[in-house]
Amino acid sequence: MTIDKVIVPLDVSSQADAIALIETLPQVTFWKVGLELFVSCGPQILKQLKQRNKRIFLDLKFHDIPNTVAGACRAAARYGVDLITIHATAGKVALKAAQSAAEMGANEAGVPVPKLIAISLLTSLNARELAFDLKIPLELPEYALQMALLGQECGLAGAVCSPQEVAQLRRTCGDDFLLVCPGVRPSWASKGDQKRSLTPSEALKAGANYLVIGRPITEANNPMTALKLISEELDAAEKIVK
C-alpha cells in the first residue's frame, strides 16, 4: 500500500490537537513526532500512538557530544519507536555511540531496535546557504552524499535526505539503506520553507522508502482529500516503478 510510505508529521503543540489529527486521518499508519510536540507534551503522545497501533518516527534530530546523544538514543529506544534521527554532523564517535545505545535501550525494554537514521542536510537549506552561510566547500549533492555515507559507515540504518538527492544516495548506498525524504511537495501545494523539493511521485520513483509530508495534508482545507490525492499520485507512480 503506497499510503504506508507516507509519514505525516504531528507538528502541533498539544496532545489534543495531535489526537484530533490522528483521528481525522485513520488511514495514516506512520506518524512523526518532532520537536514542537515532544517539547510541548512529552512522551505521553508516544503511548497514545502505540495504543492505536501506529508506527512512530521520533524526529528529535539529536546533535550533541557522544555521551549525550548516546543517553538520548538509549532513552528514546526504550519507548519502542520505529525511527530515530541524529544529525550526521554529530560525527563518527557520536553516531557509533548513538547506534550502540539505541540497541542497548531497546534490549533493556524488550522492544525491537529502532532504526537510527542520519540527517544528511536539512531540506530547508539550499546550495547558496551551504556555501556562503555554513562555509561548506563541497557541492550540495556531494555533501549530502558524504553525510549519508558517514552514517552508513557508523552502522546506522539509513538517512534523511531531500528528494533531490535521493536517486544519487540510493545508487551509492544500496537498496538496503533506508532513505526517508521530507521536503516532498505535490504540484498543488506551496513549498513553504522547503528549498529542495520534488513531488511525491518523483520522490518515490527516485528511490525514497518513505515520504514525510506535513503541511500539504495537515493545513489543507480538507486533509482527507489532500491525503487521497497524494495516495492516488503514489499508486500511479508505483505502477510505473514496478
Q: Is 140 exposed, middle or buried (0-12, 13-18, 19+ CB in 10 A)?
A: buried
DSSP H/E element including 158: strand 158-160
Q: Which residue has the cell 551551504?
A: 130
> Degrees (nearest 5) of the Cα angle 221, 227, 232?
130
Catalytic member of 54, 61, 195, 228: 61
Q: Is 59 assigned to a binding site?
A: yes
Q: Rounded to whole angstroms, how far apart are CA atoms 47 and 197?
A: 32
Among 81, 212, 227, 237, binds ligand LLZGTKA7 (CB under 6 A): 212
Q: Rounded to whole angstroms, how far apart are CA atoms 8 and 30?
A: 7
Is 59 considered catalytic here? yes
Q: Closest approach of Cβ 66 to ligand LLZGTKA7, in Å?
A: 22
Q: Is 214 in the site for ligand LLZGTKA7 (CB under 6 A)?
A: yes
Q: Which residue, 106 or 211, is less far from ligand LLZGTKA7 as judged by CB? A: 211
C-alpha dihedral (147, 150, 152, 157), degrees to nearest 10: -60
Q: Alpha carbon of 240 to those of 163, 202, 204: distances in Å? A: 18, 11, 10
Site for ligand LLZGTKA7 in 161-180 (CB under 6 A): none
Residue with nearest beta carbon to ligand LLZGTKA7: 214
Q: Which residue has the cell 552502522?
A: 155
Q: Which stretch binds ligand LLZGTKA7 (CB under 6 A): 46-54, 89-97, 169-177, 209-217?
A: 209-217
Q: Under DSSP, is residue 38 helix (H, G, I), strand (E, B) or coil?
A: helix
- Axis crossing angle, helix 15-24 with helix 223-241, rounded to the nearest 10: 60
Is 92 considered catalytic here? no
Q: Is 123 assigned to a binding site?
A: yes
Catalytic member of 17, 64, 96, 195: 64
Is 61 considered catalytic here? yes
Q: Which stretch binds ligand LLZGTKA7 (CB under 6 A): 39-47, 107-115, 138-146, 208-216?
A: 208-216
> Degrees (nearest 5) of the Cα angle 67, 103, 68?
15
Among 2, 164, 194, 201, binds ligand LLZGTKA7 (CB under 6 A): 194
Among 18, 25, 31, 34, binds ligand LLZGTKA7 (CB under 6 A): 34
Catalytic residues: 59, 61, 64
Binding residues for substrate, as ranges, are: 11, 32, 59-68, 123, 185, 194, 214-215
Binding site for ligand LLZGTKA7 (CB under 6 A): 9, 11, 32, 34, 59, 119, 122-123, 160, 182-183, 192, 194, 212-215
